């Protein structure tokens, strides 16, 4: 796979490609807080360890209790993934070295190779909404015209990939648990990122292998499998809704604009407060795409204190379920649609 050209750096894009007034607004929220970051990290890791231990004890009483505890554990797994995500953007701590250390450490809990993911996600930020630079850090999507040109078998394959049971069910689990263990589909020039995949695999083998030796490998599977399935599906769903809604932004490269892609191509997913907390404010995704250097714990204040950032399409939890029926980008109508009839 060839790496898209002119990717740039997400920090550079945010500072260079925004209108001056927005650049000034957003820059006021970039400063990270050491204590806020340490508090978020300690609470999230501590809660995950506590719930995991409770699940281990619950095995001797009732597996139904174990499964019940899997729900909050999955929530903290999603939260830790987003903290790792902030580290990848260099926004969680002021020091890049600390960001990288914490991001790599969290890899053993999120199953996500930090360095490979960081670079791929930077590509996503630099190309989001660009029809000519799809394929990096996004969910496979075709335009109506592209879909109509496919053979019958190709259409079946695309429909299979976009089927909710695959896209939000088995697909996320396979991606996080299996596909991320390999690096053959990354550009050959991504040498450090490829190495990071296999270094992460070694760390996973040591950590989870050692934990299995302590508590029992069957017990480890009973405890870890359910929250991993839930967290994987929740993470992909969250990412999907943030970019695949009816009024999303997709443009050819010659008319693509970084600011418009951030403001119009990333949703404000208006979640209940408890879900917003577990997802570390990433639902304020339009602000995050405008400036990825803002730590997650400053996104809400940035939104609340600036009316210009509130004039975006809001998607409630109830409304978001309709997004699953959107399959293609209609270039003529400039919106996402379902499959054409016949």
Entry field: residues in the chain? 342
pLDDT tens digits for range 283-330: 999 999 999 999 999 999 999 999 989 988 899 999 999 999 999 999
- Cα–Cα distances (Å) from 183 to 163, 191, 210, 222, in that order, read 26, 10, 25, 28
Is 6's pLDDT higher than 90?
no
Q: How confident is the model at residue 303, as a pLDDT?
A: 95
CA distances (Å), 7 to each of 10, 120, 156, 274, in order? 9, 11, 32, 35
Which class for 113: exposed (0-12), middle (13-18), buried (19 or more C-beta within 10 A)? buried
CA atoms within 13 A on the CB side of 110: 25
The dihedral over CA atoms of 182, 185, 188, 192, expressed in degrees to the nearest 10, equals -40
pLDDT, tens digit, 9 for 90 and up, residues 107-137: 999 999 999 999 999 999 999 999 999 877 7
Is the pLDDT at 52 greater than 50? The verdict is: yes
Residue 82, pLDDT above cutoff 90: yes
Q: Cα separation of 129 and 46, whole Å?
A: 37
Encode pLDDT of 152-176 as tens digits. Answer: 999 999 999 999 999 999 999 999 9
| Range of weakest confidence among 105-114, 123-132, 226-235, 269-278 | 123-132
pLDDT-based confidence at residue 256 (cuts at 50, 70, 90): very high
**E strand map for the chain:** 142-143, 268-270, 314-316, 328-330, 335-337
Query: What is each CA distance from 325 to 21, 67, 173, 245, 271, in whole angstroms?
Result: 37, 30, 21, 10, 20
- Distance, CA of 280 to CA of 172 (rounded, Å): 20
The predicted-structure confidence for 29-44, as pLDDT tens digits, reads as follows: 999 999 999 999 999 9
pTM: predicted TM-score of the whole model, two decimal places: 0.91
- Which CB contacts under 8 angstroms, 24+ apart, belong to 7-16? 7/122, 7/123, 7/126, 7/127, 8/126, 9/122, 9/126, 10/89, 10/122, 10/125, 10/126, 10/292, 10/293, 11/89, 11/90, 11/292, 11/293, 13/125, 13/126, 13/258, 14/290, 14/291, 14/292, 14/293
pLDDT at 7: 40
What percentage of the chain exceeds 90 in pLDDT?
82
């Amino acid at each position: 796979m060839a790496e898209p050209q002119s990717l740039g750096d997400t920090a550079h894009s945010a500072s260079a490609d925004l209108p001056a007034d927005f650049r000034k607004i957003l820059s006021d929220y970039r400063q990270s807080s050491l204590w806020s970051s340490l508090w978020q990290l300690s609470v999230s890791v501590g809660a995950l360890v506590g719930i995991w231990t409770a699940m281990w004890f619950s095995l001797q009483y009732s597996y139904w209790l174990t499964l019940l505890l899997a729900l909050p554990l999955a929530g903290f797994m999603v939260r830790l993934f987003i903290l790792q995500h902030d580290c990848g953007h260099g926004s969680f701590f002021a020091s890049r070295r600390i960001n990288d250390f914490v991001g790599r450490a969290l890899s053993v809990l999120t199953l996500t190779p930090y360095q490979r993911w960081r670079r791929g996600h930077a590509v996503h930020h630099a190309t989001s909404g660009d029809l000519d630079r799809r394929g990096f850090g996004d969910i496979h999507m075709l335009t109506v015209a592209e879909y109509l040109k496919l053979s019958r078998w190709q259409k079946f394959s695309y429909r299979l990939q976009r089927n909710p049971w695959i896209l939000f069910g088995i697909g996320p689990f396979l991606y996080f648990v299996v596909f991320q263990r390999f690096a053959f589909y990354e550009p050959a020039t991504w040498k450090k990122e490829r190495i990071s995949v296999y270094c992460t695999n070694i760390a996973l083998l040591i950590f989870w292998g050692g934990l299995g030796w302590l508590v029992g490998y069957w017990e480890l599977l009973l405890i870890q499998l359910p929250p991993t399935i839930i967290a994987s599906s929740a993470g992909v769903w969250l990412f999907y809704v943030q970019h695949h809604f009816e009024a999303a932004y997709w443009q050819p490269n010659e008319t693509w604009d970084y600011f418009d892609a951030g403001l119009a191509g990333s949703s404000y997913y208006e979640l209940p407060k408890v879900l917003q907390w577990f997802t570390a404010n990433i639902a304020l995704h339009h602000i995050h795409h405008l400036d990825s250097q803002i730590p997650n714990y400053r996104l809400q204040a940035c939104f609340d204190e600036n009316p210009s950032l509130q004039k975006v399409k809001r998607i409630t939890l109830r409304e978001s379920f309709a997004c699953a029926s959107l399959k293609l980008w209609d270039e003529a109508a400039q919106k996402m649609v379902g499959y054409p009839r016949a």
